A = this chain, B = another copy of it.
Amino acid sequence: MVLAKTQQVIEHSIGYLGPAGTYTEEMVLSTYLKQKNIKLVPYTSIDAVIRAVEAGEVTEGVVPIENSLEGSVNITLDTLAHEVNLFITKEMVQPIKHHLLIHKTGSIDKINVIVSHPQALAQCRQYINQNFPRAELKVVDSTAAAALLVAEGALDHAAIGGLRAGEIHGLKVVAASIEDQHNNCTRFIVLKSRPELAKAGHCKTSVVCKINGQRPGSLYELLSEFVKYDVNLTKIESRPARTGLGEYIFFLDLDGSIYEAPVRNAIKAVELKSLWFKNLGSYLCHIE
């Protein structure tokens, strides 16, 4: 990674959930390390990253969308559906190891408060209940912000975060890999203001739609279009439509790109059957 000295030669700026030391930063560094003329811009929350791409402050943004234990990152889905018009241009998957980090002069016996991002706290719920049942839980915007808080002298606090967060802030690891299940990984997406139609490689297409939930069988009819065109649905996730209890929107992930006729035809049919529809883009996906 080369930080360009003048605005003129910067070709891309990448917004991500900062500050230094987040899992998102680890992912961004490993992905963009070899590219030149890249500027990394940390933001303090996931929705701030997404809004920065929408406002044109950065050319792309990297945010988490799903974790294998805790499920979808709701703020990412809800902001994409309801508040911006952006496209997913890439997907990346990172294994997640959570560690319990304390001040270098602190002691594990003195932990009264455990601080982290809400998803990290949720992914270590059993560990916390078993080992620190009386600890106060404090939420901050990122695992790195949690590490910073401890580094600044919160001696009765422990942060949950990655090794990099601990190293940057000079913390010591008092318990390693404390996530409740060890197949813990997170899916990240790259967002841009225009779609980038991936023409080669293994692609995925994401759409979000609202159907008439009052009419029996309408979800089944929607899914029939994928069967008809032999398109594989890899994920379906419902989120509140925000119009009332029992009304939902559906996020659908499909194997393949809109460059392929079956995907294009299936999506066109789904759009026609939807009360509301948004294409979030076709993009290169992570392969196991």
Binds B, one of A9-17, A32-40, A62-70, A162-170: A62-70
Interface contact B238-A236, CB-CB below 8 Å: yes
A248 within 8 A of B: yes
Task: Find A139's partner among B139, B227, B230, B232 (CB 8 Å cutoff).
Answer: B139
A223 within 8 A of B: yes
With an 8 Å Cβ cutoff, the count of chain A residues facing the other chain is 52
A273 within 8 A of B: no
On chain B, the residues within 8 Å of A246 by CB distance are: 68, 234-235, 288
Complex Cα gap A226–B224 (Å) = 14
Interface residues of A in 191-247 (CB under 8 A from B): 213, 216-217, 219-220, 223-224, 226-227, 230-240, 242-246
On chain B, the residues within 8 Å of A108 by CB distance are: none
Complex Cα gap A82–B232 (Å) = 27
A71 within 8 A of B: yes
Interface residues of A in 119-170 (CB under 8 A from B): 121-122, 125, 129, 136-140
Shortest Cβ gap from A131 to chain B (Å): 16
Interface contact B217-A227, CB-CB below 8 Å: yes
> How would residues 239 to 261 of chain A score, 1 for a CB under 8 Å from any chain B CB and 0 otherwise?
11011111010000001000000
On chain B, the residues within 8 Å of A121 by CB distance are: 139
A93 within 8 A of B: yes
Shortest Cβ gap from A196 to chain B (Å): 23
On chain B, the residues within 8 Å of A67 by CB distance are: 240
